[in-house]
A and B are shown apart, each in its own frame.
Chain A
């Protein structure tokens, strides 16, 4: 196995593009090393991207936050300004694994692993996050919801690497929230999850985004659920419509961790609770 430590994203992309065998990107390694240990992959090339300066920091500008691809969960939790602007997103990223995992795991890894139950992904999509994708010849910016195409599958071409995630400038009176259901309170994988991001104007929801996780092959944007609460102060009727829209959007698996019926019901409940939290965080009074 070749182990490379490029210092630019383009160099990383070129290495990955040229490799004829099994190539993997290594950031936190919390998925890759498990897969290697289980014999699910035998890489011929591992590209450690942690030596690339463009991927290492959380930066804030007028355009919003930029979170480098190798920023670990713990570093996100420690970043006060990020947590103030996007508490739901930071909470979602913080739910991944233990403190030991948080010391290594990254949001981009969570995204590219392609798990339908990835915690940070619904929150990123609700936030309107974009991925800066770098290939050997060109860069492109892609909405995060266009990255995962199915369990374990992404739309990235051979050699393409995500350099960073960008979040839009935060408007005043905005809030986000992410909730998930797990049998244990820690160290577990979401059975159902919901992320809500919204902006208010005089206490009325002006814009909203509702995203569900673990209830379909990929995270699902529920436009009808957002529509149900836009123009309202989250009254009971609006929340009932949101709940119904979420249930209708579910296409979950049926397993011992949660039946189809159960996941479908809980999705609506979590979305409703997340909407209330996001609303209060945006300064609304329920």
Chain B
């Protein structure tokens, strides 16, 4: 493979990988770094299943080139667990059964985490708008919204 060496930070760890220039960051993460949390749903930025953060901003990894990650900070769903303990959002998603097939879940978790960092007490409407870029074809969204509300409440206690 002819590839470009990319030095980046993923979930706080320095990571290097080599990839072709036209490869998406989603493919680099999944196939080269071995982080398969971000999923490919549509591959065109519509479904949000590949949501990650790039320098703190929520983005679709399918719309970023792997080479663009050089020198930047990436956050993926794998970074939600701290010291082996699930993030409150993950706990609440389980508690509220906010997932069925699970393909959309990593994207929802990353998007919801980004929302709660900016807005610790979002209204239901704000949650629905913030998660409008994440599609779920199983749950009907209600359980997801409730899980995010419950996690927000839990996180405000800390």
Contacts and interface: CB of A to CB of B under 8 A. Distances in A.
A100 B65 contact: no
B125 to A, nearest CB: 10
Interface stretch (A26-34, A128-136, A154-162): A26-34
A3 interface: yes
Contacts of B68: 26, 29, 48, 50
Contacts of A186: 129, 132-133
A3 B57 contact: no
A99 B63 contact: no
Nearest to A75: B57
Interface stretch (B39-47, B96-104, B144-152): B39-47
A195 to B, nearest CB: 22
Interface residues of A, number: 27
A187 B133 contact: yes
Interface string A92-111: 00000111110110000000
Given A97-B45, A103-B57, A33 B132 contact: no
Nearest to A72: B57
Contacts of B21: 1-3, 46
Interface string A253-282: 000000000000000000000000000000
Interface string B119-133: 000000000011011
Interface in A48-84: 48, 50, 72, 74
Interface string B51-69: 1001001111011110110
Which of B48, B59, B68, B114 has the most chain A CB within a 10 Å cutoff?
B59
Contact of A101 (B22, B45, B67, B129): B45
A103 B75 CA distance: 14
B111 interface: yes
Contacts of A143: none
A219 to B, nearest CB: 23
A34 B65 contact: no
A171 interface: no
Given A1-B22, A98-B132, A100-B111, A29 B58 contact: no
Contact of B45 (A30, A50, A74): A30
B129 A37 contact: no
Nearest to B115: A99
B4 interface: yes
B7 interface: no
Contacts of A187: 46, 132-133
Contacts of B24: 33, 37
A169 B12 CA distance: 42
A30 B64 CA distance: 8
A123 to B, nearest CB: 20
A187 B44 CA distance: 13
B104 to A, nearest CB: 13
A100 B43 CA distance: 13
A98 B63 contact: no
Contacts of A30: 45, 63
Nearest to B21: A3
Contact of A37 (B44, B54, B134): B44
Contact of A100 (B60, B67, B129): B60
Contacts of A286: none
Contact of B133 (A29, A43, A46, A99): A99
Contacts of A28: 63
A37 B55 CA distance: 24
A33 B65 contact: yes
Nearest to A35: B44
B88 to A, nearest CB: 20
Most buried by B among A1, A3, A186: A3
A-B residue pairs, 10 tightest by C-beta: A98-B133, A103-B57, A186-B132, A3-B21, A103-B59, A100-B133, A1-B22, A33-B63, A100-B60, A1-B21
5 contacts: A33-B24, A34-B44, A48-B68, A101-B60, A187-B46
Given A29-B65, A100-B51, A100-B133, 7 more contacts: A26-B65, A29-B68, A33-B45, A97-B45, A98-B132, A99-B133, A187-B133
